[in-house]
Amino acid sequence: MAASRPDPAPARRVVAVGDVHGACDELVRHLKATGLVDGSLRWVGGRTHLVQTGDVLDRGPAPLAALDLLMRLAVEAAEAGGRVYALLGNHELMAVESGLGDPLSRTCWLSPANGGAATFAEWRRRSLERGDRDRPGQVFFSLFAPTGRYGRWFRQSPAVLKLGSTLFCHAGLDDPRGATPGWAEAVLWTALDARDFTHPWLCGAGPLWTRQLRPDGVIAVLELLGCRRMVVGHTPQPSVRAFLGGRLVNIDAGMWCGGPGGALVIEGDRVEVVSPDGSSRPLPAPRH
Protein backbone atom coordinates (compact mmCIF):
# COMPACT_ATOMS: atom_id res chain seq x y z
CA MET A 1 0.00 0.00 0.00
CA ALA A 2 1.25 3.48 -0.81
CA ALA A 3 2.46 5.24 2.30
CA SER A 4 0.64 8.37 3.25
CA ARG A 5 3.26 11.01 2.89
CA PRO A 6 3.84 14.12 4.95
CA ASP A 7 3.17 17.44 3.32
CA PRO A 8 6.47 18.39 1.71
CA ALA A 9 8.10 21.73 2.47
CA PRO A 10 6.57 24.38 0.24
CA ALA A 11 8.45 24.78 -3.02
CA ARG A 12 9.31 28.25 -4.23
CA ARG A 13 8.34 27.23 -7.75
CA VAL A 14 5.96 24.50 -8.89
CA VAL A 15 5.60 23.49 -12.54
CA ALA A 16 2.69 21.23 -13.53
CA VAL A 17 2.12 19.46 -16.82
CA GLY A 18 -0.99 17.52 -17.79
CA ASP A 19 -1.70 14.43 -19.84
CA VAL A 20 1.22 13.29 -22.00
CA HIS A 21 -0.23 10.17 -23.64
CA GLY A 22 2.98 9.16 -25.36
CA ALA A 23 3.88 12.61 -26.68
CA CYS A 24 7.38 12.49 -25.24
CA ASP A 25 8.72 15.19 -27.59
CA GLU A 26 5.96 17.55 -26.47
CA LEU A 27 6.68 16.78 -22.83
CA VAL A 28 10.35 17.65 -23.47
CA ARG A 29 9.34 20.96 -25.08
CA HIS A 30 7.35 21.83 -21.96
CA LEU A 31 10.24 20.90 -19.66
CA LYS A 32 12.66 23.00 -21.69
CA ALA A 33 10.28 25.97 -21.90
CA THR A 34 9.97 25.98 -18.10
CA GLY A 35 13.72 25.64 -17.58
CA LEU A 36 13.62 22.19 -16.02
CA VAL A 37 15.89 20.31 -18.45
CA ASP A 38 18.79 21.28 -20.69
CA GLY A 39 19.55 20.19 -24.25
CA SER A 40 20.81 16.84 -22.96
CA LEU A 41 17.57 16.38 -21.02
CA ARG A 42 19.36 16.66 -17.69
CA TRP A 43 17.53 18.24 -14.73
CA VAL A 44 18.50 21.90 -14.43
CA GLY A 45 15.39 22.91 -12.47
CA GLY A 46 17.21 23.15 -9.13
CA ARG A 47 14.73 23.12 -6.28
CA THR A 48 11.63 23.36 -8.49
CA HIS A 49 8.90 20.81 -7.91
CA LEU A 50 7.56 19.25 -11.13
CA VAL A 51 4.11 17.67 -11.05
CA GLN A 52 2.80 15.53 -13.86
CA THR A 53 -0.91 14.98 -13.26
CA GLY A 54 -1.16 11.45 -14.69
CA ASP A 55 -1.74 9.73 -18.02
CA VAL A 56 1.79 9.49 -19.37
CA LEU A 57 0.91 6.17 -21.01
CA ASP A 58 -0.89 5.17 -24.22
CA ARG A 59 -2.12 6.69 -27.48
CA GLY A 60 1.09 8.40 -28.69
CA PRO A 61 4.37 7.00 -30.03
CA ALA A 62 6.62 7.14 -26.96
CA PRO A 63 4.83 6.60 -23.64
CA LEU A 64 7.56 4.43 -22.12
CA ALA A 65 10.24 6.92 -23.17
CA ALA A 66 8.26 9.67 -21.43
CA LEU A 67 7.89 7.54 -18.31
CA ASP A 68 11.59 6.63 -18.31
CA LEU A 69 12.45 10.32 -18.61
CA LEU A 70 10.28 11.27 -15.62
CA MET A 71 11.71 8.40 -13.57
CA ARG A 72 15.28 9.54 -14.28
CA LEU A 73 14.45 13.20 -13.65
CA ALA A 74 12.92 12.23 -10.29
CA VAL A 75 16.36 11.01 -9.19
CA GLU A 76 18.22 13.99 -10.61
CA ALA A 77 15.74 16.50 -9.19
CA ALA A 78 15.95 14.96 -5.72
CA GLU A 79 19.76 15.26 -5.83
CA ALA A 80 19.35 18.97 -6.65
CA GLY A 81 16.82 19.57 -3.86
CA GLY A 82 13.86 19.53 -6.25
CA ARG A 83 11.17 16.95 -6.77
CA VAL A 84 9.32 15.16 -9.55
CA TYR A 85 5.85 13.87 -8.73
CA ALA A 86 4.22 11.75 -11.41
CA LEU A 87 0.63 11.18 -10.32
CA LEU A 88 -1.43 8.15 -11.22
CA GLY A 89 -3.88 8.60 -14.07
CA ASN A 90 -6.56 6.20 -15.21
CA HIS A 91 -4.23 4.92 -17.93
CA GLU A 92 -1.56 4.02 -15.36
CA LEU A 93 -4.37 2.33 -13.44
CA MET A 94 -5.32 0.18 -16.45
CA ALA A 95 -1.67 -0.83 -16.80
CA VAL A 96 -1.50 -1.80 -13.11
CA GLU A 97 -4.68 -3.88 -13.43
CA SER A 98 -3.21 -5.58 -16.50
CA GLY A 99 0.02 -6.22 -14.60
CA LEU A 100 -2.04 -7.98 -11.95
CA GLY A 101 -3.12 -10.42 -14.62
CA ASP A 102 -6.74 -9.48 -15.16
CA PRO A 103 -7.65 -10.58 -18.69
CA LEU A 104 -10.59 -8.18 -19.04
CA SER A 105 -8.40 -5.26 -17.97
CA ARG A 106 -5.82 -6.22 -20.59
CA THR A 107 -8.43 -6.32 -23.33
CA CYS A 108 -9.89 -3.02 -22.19
CA TRP A 109 -6.45 -1.34 -21.91
CA LEU A 110 -5.28 -2.47 -25.36
CA SER A 111 -8.55 -1.47 -27.06
CA PRO A 112 -8.58 1.48 -29.47
CA ALA A 113 -10.64 3.53 -27.01
CA ASN A 114 -7.88 3.40 -24.41
CA GLY A 115 -4.80 3.26 -26.61
CA GLY A 116 -2.74 0.75 -24.65
CA ALA A 117 -1.78 -0.85 -27.96
CA ALA A 118 0.49 2.14 -28.57
CA THR A 119 2.40 1.39 -25.37
CA PHE A 120 2.66 -2.25 -26.39
CA ALA A 121 3.89 -1.22 -29.86
CA GLU A 122 6.63 0.96 -28.38
CA TRP A 123 7.75 -1.93 -26.17
CA ARG A 124 7.84 -4.23 -29.24
CA ARG A 125 9.85 -1.67 -31.18
CA ARG A 126 12.33 -1.28 -28.35
CA SER A 127 12.66 -5.05 -28.00
CA LEU A 128 13.40 -5.40 -31.71
CA GLU A 129 15.94 -2.57 -31.56
CA ARG A 130 17.74 -4.53 -28.85
CA GLY A 131 17.73 -7.56 -31.13
CA ASP A 132 15.24 -9.33 -28.93
CA ARG A 133 12.80 -10.77 -31.45
CA ASP A 134 10.90 -13.36 -29.50
CA ARG A 135 9.79 -11.74 -26.28
CA PRO A 136 6.29 -12.90 -25.49
CA GLY A 137 3.60 -10.37 -24.65
CA GLN A 138 3.60 -11.71 -21.11
CA VAL A 139 6.93 -9.94 -20.58
CA PHE A 140 5.27 -6.65 -21.49
CA PHE A 141 2.53 -7.06 -18.91
CA SER A 142 5.06 -8.09 -16.26
CA LEU A 143 6.61 -4.61 -16.48
CA PHE A 144 3.45 -3.36 -14.76
CA ALA A 145 3.22 -6.16 -12.19
CA PRO A 146 3.90 -5.25 -8.54
CA THR A 147 7.55 -6.29 -8.95
CA GLY A 148 7.95 -4.85 -12.49
CA ARG A 149 9.91 -1.73 -13.39
CA TYR A 150 6.83 0.42 -13.93
CA GLY A 151 4.56 -1.43 -11.50
CA ARG A 152 6.91 -0.55 -8.62
CA TRP A 153 7.00 3.08 -9.72
CA PHE A 154 3.21 3.32 -9.94
CA ARG A 155 2.78 1.79 -6.50
CA GLN A 156 4.69 4.67 -4.94
CA SER A 157 3.04 7.31 -7.14
CA PRO A 158 0.51 9.57 -5.45
CA ALA A 159 -3.12 9.73 -6.56
CA VAL A 160 -3.60 13.02 -4.73
CA LEU A 161 -0.88 15.55 -3.95
CA LYS A 162 -1.01 18.73 -1.89
CA LEU A 163 1.79 21.20 -2.55
CA GLY A 164 1.44 24.48 -0.70
CA SER A 165 -2.07 25.73 -1.42
CA THR A 166 -2.61 23.63 -4.54
CA LEU A 167 -4.12 20.15 -4.70
CA PHE A 168 -3.30 17.96 -7.69
CA CYS A 169 -5.32 14.95 -8.82
CA HIS A 170 -5.73 13.38 -12.26
CA ALA A 171 -9.52 13.57 -12.66
CA GLY A 172 -10.33 15.46 -9.46
CA LEU A 173 -11.50 14.88 -5.94
CA ASP A 174 -15.01 15.76 -4.80
CA ASP A 175 -15.34 13.47 -1.78
CA PRO A 176 -14.49 15.24 1.51
CA ARG A 177 -12.92 12.00 2.78
CA GLY A 178 -10.19 12.72 0.25
CA ALA A 179 -8.97 15.50 2.51
CA THR A 180 -7.43 12.82 4.73
CA PRO A 181 -3.86 12.23 3.53
CA GLY A 182 -3.44 8.79 2.01
CA TRP A 183 -7.18 8.05 1.84
CA ALA A 184 -7.43 7.90 -1.96
CA GLU A 185 -4.30 5.75 -2.25
CA ALA A 186 -5.63 3.39 0.44
CA VAL A 187 -8.96 2.95 -1.36
CA LEU A 188 -7.26 2.38 -4.70
CA TRP A 189 -4.62 -0.11 -3.56
CA THR A 190 -7.04 -1.99 -1.34
CA ALA A 191 -9.25 -2.56 -4.40
CA LEU A 192 -6.27 -3.49 -6.56
CA ASP A 193 -4.70 -5.84 -4.02
CA ALA A 194 -8.09 -7.54 -3.59
CA ARG A 195 -8.32 -7.81 -7.39
CA ASP A 196 -11.69 -6.11 -7.10
CA PHE A 197 -11.68 -5.07 -10.74
CA THR A 198 -15.33 -4.02 -10.66
CA HIS A 199 -14.68 -1.43 -7.95
CA PRO A 200 -16.21 1.88 -9.11
CA TRP A 201 -12.83 3.64 -8.89
CA LEU A 202 -11.46 1.18 -11.46
CA CYS A 203 -14.52 1.52 -13.69
CA GLY A 204 -15.13 5.11 -14.62
CA ALA A 205 -15.67 6.80 -11.24
CA GLY A 206 -13.44 8.17 -8.52
CA PRO A 207 -10.44 10.54 -8.54
CA LEU A 208 -8.65 8.91 -11.49
CA TRP A 209 -11.63 8.46 -13.78
CA THR A 210 -14.53 10.79 -13.08
CA ARG A 211 -15.79 13.25 -15.67
CA GLN A 212 -18.59 14.45 -13.41
CA LEU A 213 -16.87 16.40 -10.67
CA ARG A 214 -19.34 17.85 -8.17
CA PRO A 215 -18.46 21.53 -7.67
CA ASP A 216 -19.65 21.59 -4.06
CA GLY A 217 -17.53 18.52 -3.33
CA VAL A 218 -14.45 20.10 -4.92
CA ILE A 219 -14.91 23.25 -2.83
CA ALA A 220 -15.48 21.21 0.34
CA VAL A 221 -12.23 19.27 -0.20
CA LEU A 222 -10.30 22.49 -0.84
CA GLU A 223 -11.71 24.14 2.27
CA LEU A 224 -10.92 21.14 4.46
CA LEU A 225 -7.32 21.20 3.22
CA GLY A 226 -6.93 24.96 3.23
CA CYS A 227 -6.13 24.90 -0.49
CA ARG A 228 -6.84 27.63 -3.02
CA ARG A 229 -7.16 25.48 -6.10
CA MET A 230 -7.41 21.96 -7.46
CA VAL A 231 -5.41 21.18 -10.60
CA VAL A 232 -6.60 18.31 -12.80
CA GLY A 233 -6.13 16.90 -16.30
CA HIS A 234 -7.98 13.93 -17.82
CA THR A 235 -10.58 15.72 -19.93
CA PRO A 236 -8.86 17.67 -22.72
CA GLN A 237 -9.61 21.36 -23.08
CA PRO A 238 -8.90 23.81 -25.90
CA SER A 239 -6.41 25.53 -23.57
CA VAL A 240 -5.29 25.51 -19.94
CA ARG A 241 -8.14 27.17 -18.12
CA ALA A 242 -9.89 27.76 -14.84
CA PHE A 243 -13.37 26.94 -13.60
CA LEU A 244 -15.29 27.56 -10.37
CA GLY A 245 -13.89 31.03 -9.88
CA GLY A 246 -10.33 29.79 -10.26
CA ARG A 247 -10.69 26.98 -7.73
CA LEU A 248 -10.48 24.28 -10.40
CA VAL A 249 -7.85 24.38 -13.16
CA ASN A 250 -7.67 21.88 -16.00
CA ILE A 251 -4.17 21.60 -17.51
CA ASP A 252 -4.86 18.95 -20.14
CA ALA A 253 -4.62 21.25 -23.14
CA GLY A 254 -4.03 18.40 -25.54
CA MET A 255 -0.24 18.37 -25.91
CA TRP A 256 -0.81 14.79 -27.08
CA CYS A 257 -3.45 15.50 -29.73
CA GLY A 258 -2.32 18.64 -31.51
CA GLY A 259 -3.56 21.08 -28.89
CA PRO A 260 -1.62 24.08 -27.61
CA GLY A 261 -0.47 22.41 -24.38
CA GLY A 262 1.02 24.62 -21.71
CA ALA A 263 2.53 24.15 -18.27
CA LEU A 264 1.08 25.73 -15.15
CA VAL A 265 3.76 27.60 -13.22
CA ILE A 266 3.00 28.59 -9.63
CA GLU A 267 5.33 30.94 -7.79
CA GLY A 268 3.89 32.38 -4.61
CA ASP A 269 0.69 34.20 -5.58
CA ARG A 270 1.55 34.23 -9.25
CA VAL A 271 0.01 31.57 -11.49
CA GLU A 272 0.82 31.56 -15.16
CA VAL A 273 0.68 29.32 -18.20
CA VAL A 274 3.95 28.75 -20.04
CA SER A 275 3.53 27.57 -23.61
CA PRO A 276 5.96 25.10 -25.16
CA ASP A 277 7.36 27.97 -27.26
CA GLY A 278 8.39 29.68 -24.02
CA SER A 279 5.79 32.46 -24.05
CA SER A 280 3.79 32.95 -20.87
CA ARG A 281 0.51 34.52 -19.84
CA PRO A 282 -1.47 34.76 -16.62
CA LEU A 283 -3.90 31.94 -16.01
CA PRO A 284 -6.98 32.92 -18.02
CA ALA A 285 -9.98 34.22 -16.16
CA PRO A 286 -12.21 31.61 -14.59
CA ARG A 287 -15.05 30.05 -16.53
CA HIS A 288 -18.03 28.88 -14.56
Residues in contact with Mn ion by the rule CB under 5 A: 55, 89-90, 234
Shortest separation between residue 139's beta carbon and Mn ion, angstroms? 26
Shortest separation between residue 239's beta carbon and Mn ion, angstroms? 18
For residues 164 and 236, which CB has a smaller minimum distance to Mn ion in the complex? 236
For residues 147 and 212, which CB has a smaller minimum distance to Mn ion in the complex? 212
| Residue, CB closest to Mn ion | 234
Shortest separation between residue 264's beta carbon and Mn ion, angstroms? 17
Shortest separation between residue 147's beta carbon and Mn ion, angstroms? 25
For residues 48 and 90, which CB has a smaller minimum distance to Mn ion in the complex? 90
For residues 215 and 236, which CB has a smaller minimum distance to Mn ion in the complex? 236
For residues 60 and 89, which CB has a smaller minimum distance to Mn ion in the complex? 89
Angle among Cα 223, 288, 52 to the nearest 5 degrees reads 65
Shortest separation between residue 195's beta carbon and Mn ion, angstroms? 22
